[in-house]
Amino acid sequence: MSFGTGHTIHARHSHFGWNPANAPILTVAPGDSIEFEVIDSAGGEISPLTTVTDLPQVDQSKFAPLTGPVAVDGAEPGDAIKITILGFTPSGWGWSAVTTRFGILPDQFPDPHLKIWRYDRACLQPAMYSDVAKVPLRPFPGIIGMAPGTRGTHPALPPYRTGGNLDCRDLSAGTELYLPVETHGGLLSLGDTHAAQGHGELAGTALESPMSAALKIELVKDARLRGPHFTTPGPLARHLDNRGYHVTCGVSSDLMDAARMAVMQMIDLLGRLHGLVPMDAYLLCSVCADLVINELVNKPIHVVSLYFPRLVVE
């Protein structure tokens, strides 16, 4: 798909971690559009032919490559970059994994699992999870951000004030994202593209997928932002809403404990209602279910719920 972008940053132009000393691959003028080619969060170490027995041999030092960086002419600390997400060109394949390294329930799922997905590149049809589920698609970059202002290399995966591994599903086509600038030029990079994800990415991976992302870049002088913020072009969950949700509630004085309770209850519920084995239910929760903090006012007890879209399994 062509978005009429003026620049293309190929996936070979990548780096690991954020560093304000990184030389930009390209400097663009405010108002320019750029297409970023992104490998995926595994850096090409997982392919459509990879099996779960191959996982111990993958080179994790190649994980989380960032395409870029791109400098914006005139951007200085205190400014902000406005990023309009124009659209995506997905690859049509991806992967999801369960390992003990990531995820909310590593103690409950000690055995690794790998799912290779094939999906409609136009993202108009849901991706099939064997014959047990169908997952609506909504591409977005898991990592989008700029270099922090402090010296040295900062890991790619944590989020920062300047963006980074936000893993926010709603950074999809049409969204306008604002990121604070902390270093000369801003140094914008992208990575970790996803074809689908639930809020929380509960098993530690989404539908990880190589793709290109087209962005329009604008400069907002002296914005003085405290952190990222974004504006969506319309309703957020229309692709999931039309059959309602199964919802489980975790109640605890600890938000993480409450979240774990909600996820474990959902895994049990999906098994009872739809015959899903626990591993399939857990991975599907990561790809399409949304974790929500319902209330923090009844100190010290809080409620965290998991919303699982019924259209995935019905």
Could you tell me the pTM of the whole model? 0.95
Type of residue at 210: P
Contact between residue 8 and residue 34 where contact means Cβ atoms under 8 Å apart:
yes
Pick the CATH number of 7-231 from 1.10.3720.10, 3.40.309.10, 3.20.20.330, 2.60.120.580: 2.60.120.580
Type of residue at 203: A
What are the CA-CA distances from residue 11 to residues 50, 119, 172, 200 (Å)?
21, 21, 20, 27
Q: What span, in angstroms and rounded, lies between the C-alpha atoms of 196 and 312? A: 12
Q: What span, in angstroms and rounded, lies between the C-alpha atoms of 44 and 60? A: 10
Domain residues of the chain, as ranges? 7-231, 240-312
What are the CA-CA distances from residue 26 to residues 3, 10, 32, 67, 213 (Å)?
19, 11, 12, 11, 16
List of residues 6+ apart from 287 with CB closer than 8 A: 96, 135, 196, 197, 198, 206, 207
Structure tokens at 214: 């087209």
Q: State the CB neighbour count (10 A cutoff) for residue 150.
A: 12
DSSP code per residue over 235-303: -SSHHHHTT-EEEEEEEESSHHHHHHHHHHHHHHHHHHHH---HHHHHHHHHHH-EEEEEE--STT-EE
Quick one: DSSP state of residue 310? Answer: G
Tens-of-pLDDT digits for all 314 residues of the chain? 557 668 999 999 999 999 999 999 999 999 999 999 999 999 999 999 999 999 999 999 999 999 999 999 999 999 999 999 999 999 999 999 999 999 999 999 999 999 999 999 999 999 999 899 999 999 999 999 999 999 999 999 999 999 999 999 999 999 999 999 999 999 999 999 999 999 999 999 999 999 999 999 999 999 999 999 999 999 988 889 999 999 999 999 999 999 999 999 999 999 999 999 999 999 999 999 999 999 999 989 999 999 999 999 99
Distance of CA 34 to the CA centre of its chain: 20
Quick one: DSSP state of residue 150? Answer: S
Indicate the length of the chain as a whole number.
314
CATH fold group of domain 240-312? Endonuclease I-creI (3.10.28)
